[in-house]
Amino acid sequence: MNKIIVSVVFLIIITQGHAQTNDLSGSPYSLYGLGVPNESNTGKTNSMGKTGIAMPSDNAINNLNPASYATIPSNNFFYDIGVKGQKETLAEAGNEEPRFNANFSNIAIAFPINNKSGMGITLIPYTNVGYLLMGIETEIEGSNDTFISNIKGSGGLNDLRINYAYRLTEKLRLGVSASYLFGKITEDERSFIGNTTLSIHEDNYYNGFKFGGGFQYDISKFITLGGVINFPVTLRGDQTSYVTQPGYEPIVNESDLDTFELPLEIGFGVHTKLKENLLLNIDYRKNFWDATNQTDQIGTYVDQDFIGIGMEYTPKKRGFKYWERIQYRAGFNMDNGNLEVDGERVHGAEFTLGIGLPMKGISNSMFNISYSYGQNGQLTNGLIQENYHTVTLNFSLDGIWFKRKKFQ
């Protein structure tokens, strides 16, 4: 077991370089701040309306609340790796533009320490950046002439997180989390001034530590309450820029960036078994962006509210027939957005569906397929409406199958 843990942790570490250098979004709203927050997570939560604050980790990793790690069964070793693809359609003033992007969505491990505690490590994108602005016309200061620019942004931040949980009583579980946020956001700008081309390449690096906690409390055998908190974070950054122009030596500058404040985040949830084979999640989260006193060049950050609901149905959990153990999931969520542009909030809503396909002979292991359709923004005051279809594939493995057989 120790060898397995070491090898998977090593895999997470070497994966971080790949995670921070790819275009993870096609959203025009990733132009703001440090990008669009990533909502995809581990396993089944993607298809249950992105909910699960009160849901246990008794058969798969639930990364939405560190307290859930205390429910990992003894001798089990959970592993979750996922990829996602997204097709977006951007609408503005009667024009539509399709975009497609794909990348990894998460990699995670979790295991019990003893019969009262458990821990895990996850690596997920924290923000996604992937915008493209073509044909931006700007006046040259002091004249009536203009120049044209094309601007491309890519990258984002990653969240490398350690979760630990302890079962304080039979009904109460407490958890803590510590994250290292890091990543690179790249912007390339090419300007055409007469017959001259000016290129500016900027590498912006950010990093910082984030801490949080959570609880889960079993009111009864069928109802669990949960809560989470993530404390405010100050991210520090530095920039390296390269300015190139034909016939001139490149100019390289290094400088410190202004700090970026992440807000206090709280969330509450309910998890209930309506029947033995029917589960229900209801979550509410709030991000206190107002307290950061931050504005972007184009918009202002405002408090954000999120509410979601998710369900899972299994015909017969311990059924002998394969189709009886297939899990069916659905959910819905909506939020009022953390960005206000010209007095209009960039709010969003999303429907989710999913299915969990058991992997034969591998205990609780599942191949999870999640689909979501959502919308961000609205066609008012010159804003862009973003409609997207997302498919996420997760291998959620139960490492109990690594155990040696007693008899050979």
Confidence bin at 382 (pLDDT 50/70/90): low
**SS3 category, 3:** helix
CATH class of this structure's domain 2-402? mainly beta
* Among 366, 402, 365, 408, CA closest to 5: 402
Q: In the chain, what are the domain boundaries?
A: 2-402
Tokens of 27: 């959203």
Task: Judge whether residue 20 has pLDDT over 50.
Answer: no
Q: Which residue has the tokens 């909910």?
A: 51
Q: Which of the two residues, 270 and 294, has the higher pLDDT score? A: 270
Specify the pLDDT at position 405.
46
Task: Judge whether residue 10 has pLDDT over 80.
Answer: no
Task: Judge whether residue 229 has pLDDT over 90.
Answer: yes
Q: What is the mean pLDDT of residues 182-204?
A: 90
Residue type, position 73, single letter:
P
Range from 119-123, 223-227, 357-361 carrying the lowest mean pLDDT: 357-361
Specify the pLDDT at position 26.
65
Task: Judge whether residue 165 has pLDDT over 90.
Answer: yes
Q: What is the mean pLDDT of residues 213-217?
A: 98
Q: What is the mean pLDDT of residues 126-133?
A: 88
Range from 23-37, 142-156, 181-195, 299-313 carrying the lowest mean pLDDT: 23-37
Tokens of 239: 């920039």
Do residues 29 and 36 touch, judged by C-beta distance below 8 A?
A: yes
Please report the DSSP string for 292-328 in residue order: G--B-SS-EE--EEEEEEEEEE-S-TT-SSGGGG-EE
Task: Judge whether residue 23 has pLDDT over 80.
Answer: no
Q: What is the mean pLDDT of residues 325-332?
A: 96
Dihedral (Cα; 401, 402, 407, 408), 10-degree rounding: 110
Q: Which residue has the tokens 């429907």?
A: 351
Residue type, position 401, single letter:
W
pTM over 0.85: yes
Q: Which of the two residues, 126 and 8, has the higher pLDDT score? A: 126
Dihedral (Cα; 35, 37, 42, 43), 10-degree rounding: -100
Residues 6+ apart with CB under 8 A from 332: 49, 308, 309, 310, 349, 350, 351, 352
